[in-house]
Amino acid sequence: MALLNAVAALLLAAPVHANAPQESSIWRELASIGALDKDSRDRATRIAALRISSPGRDATAEGALVRAKLAALEGAPVNFAWDLSGAWPYDREASWVAAEVLPKGRQRSRAVLTALGPLEGAPAEPELARDRLELAYEVWVDAADNLRFDEALAIGRNLHSRTHATWSAISLALTTMRAGLSKECDDVLAAQIAITKDNPVDLAALWDHRGIAALGAGWEAPGRFALGQALLHGSTDGAVVLARLDLAVGKLDTARVGFRAVLIENPNSDWARRGWGLSLLPTGSGSSATEATSW
């Protein structure tokens, strides 16, 4: 009880108003509590202290967020009792907490975008902690899957500007491709390829995606070139796509060689096995070329 009273007294000592400096200590305290063992007595004591102190009991946006986070820490249903339809009420640090407790949807995207900060400043930002990076990526994927491309693109561009990693380049390329931004998709992959010099695995993946994206945009020659580059870096996926392109136009001998080469490299490739089987059929045995290559 003495520890509870001491913590409460400390939290009550400073006046509370919007965006006051002591608020950042509240978010740090919540993060610290979250790192404790769930059965820890210290954890329970500190949660209780926050519940009876300011802003844990305040009728403010910050108070509502603290109470929602405390509920999440206790494993209770989160009731985020604040209207977020207007101006966003939280600073960057508080927005990370909001992103943790808000349900999937636009408001959660708003929280992540505020937490990440402006795109133009992203390259100079410090590296994100792993849990925050994973949270932002989760929100990015949810927005893209639900066709909220304005949110998905904003988050994806910010994360890629921070990391310039293979995973972020491919993810952003997929998002831009789904959004119909073929030129940006190709630019993202081309720029990442240019800085990925000595990693054949990453280069194969990047060229694969660039080739598939080019074909999806209707750029057959650039697409074939990119898939050829992927093949040179050891990609069996690129080889399967190239062989399928040959199969689609009736170049059975060439397609057969391509599929067979992939099967030698990867006997478990179902796509290569099916393609090789189709390439062995006599010409004209299928009902239509479209049916035979629609997989």
Q: Write out the residue range of the structural domain in which residue 147 sits.
A: 91-120+128-163
Distance of alpha carbon 149 from the chain centroid: 13
pLDDT for the residue 242: 80
Do the Cβ atoms of 121 and 163 come closer than 8 Å? no
The reply to whether 159 and 95 lie within a common domain is yes
Does any domain span residue 249?
A: no
pLDDT tens digits, one per residue of 64-118:
999 999 999 998 899 888 999 999 999 999 999 999 999 999 999 999 999 999 9
| Percentage of the chain modeled with pLDDT above 70 | 82
- Which has the higher per-residue pLDDT, 293 or 165? 165
Same domain for 106 and 66: no
Residue 7 lies in a domain: yes
> Any idea which residue has 């598939």 for tokens?
212
Query: Is residue 40 included in any domain, yes or no?
Result: yes
Per the structure, the count of domains in the chain is: 2
Q: Supply the pLDDT for residue 13.
A: 39
| 7: Cβ contacts below 8 Å, ≥ 6 apart | 45, 46, 49, 50, 53
CA angle 26, 133, 110 (to 5 degrees): 70
Cis peptide before 200 (omega within 30 of 0): no
Q: Which residue has the higher pLDDT, 151 or 266?
A: 151
- C-alpha 106/C-alpha 280 separation (Å) is 51
Dihedral sign, CA of 116, 120, 121, 126?
Answer: positive
Evaluate whether residue 138 is within a structural domain: yes
Higher per-residue pLDDT: 229 or 11: 229
Judgement on whether residues 5 and 26 belong to the same structural domain of the protein: yes
Whether 271 shows a pLDDT value over 50: the answer reads: yes
Mean local confidence (pLDDT), 211-231 = 93
Examine residue 1 and state whether it is found in any structural domain, yes or no: yes
Reported confidence tier of residue 282, pLDDT bands at 50, 70, 90: low
On whether residue 219 sits in a domain, the answer given is: no
**Side chain identity at 114, as an amino acid letter?**
T
Q: What is residue 293's predicted lDDT score, i.e. its pLDDT?
A: 46
> Do residues 255 and 243 lie in contact, with contact meaning Cβ atoms separated by under 8 Å?
yes
> 3-state class of 288 per DSSP?
coil
The lowest-confidence range among 18-22, 40-44, 116-120, 189-193 is 18-22
101 and 40 fall within a common domain? no
Same domain, 45 and 99: no
Last residue of a domain, one of 163, 188, 221: 163
Looking at the domain assignment, is residue 63 inside a domain?
yes
Task: Categorise residue 203: left if φ over 0, alpha if ψ from -120 to 50, beta otherwise.
Answer: alpha
98 and 73 in one domain? no
With respect to residue 267, please indicate whether it lies within any of the assigned structural domains: no
Contact 199, 187 (CB under 8 A): no
Are residues 12 and 54 in contact, defined by beta-carbon separation less than 8 angstroms?
yes
pLDDT, greater one: 139 or 6: 139
pLDDT at 217 over 80: yes
pLDDT averaged over every residue in the chain: 84
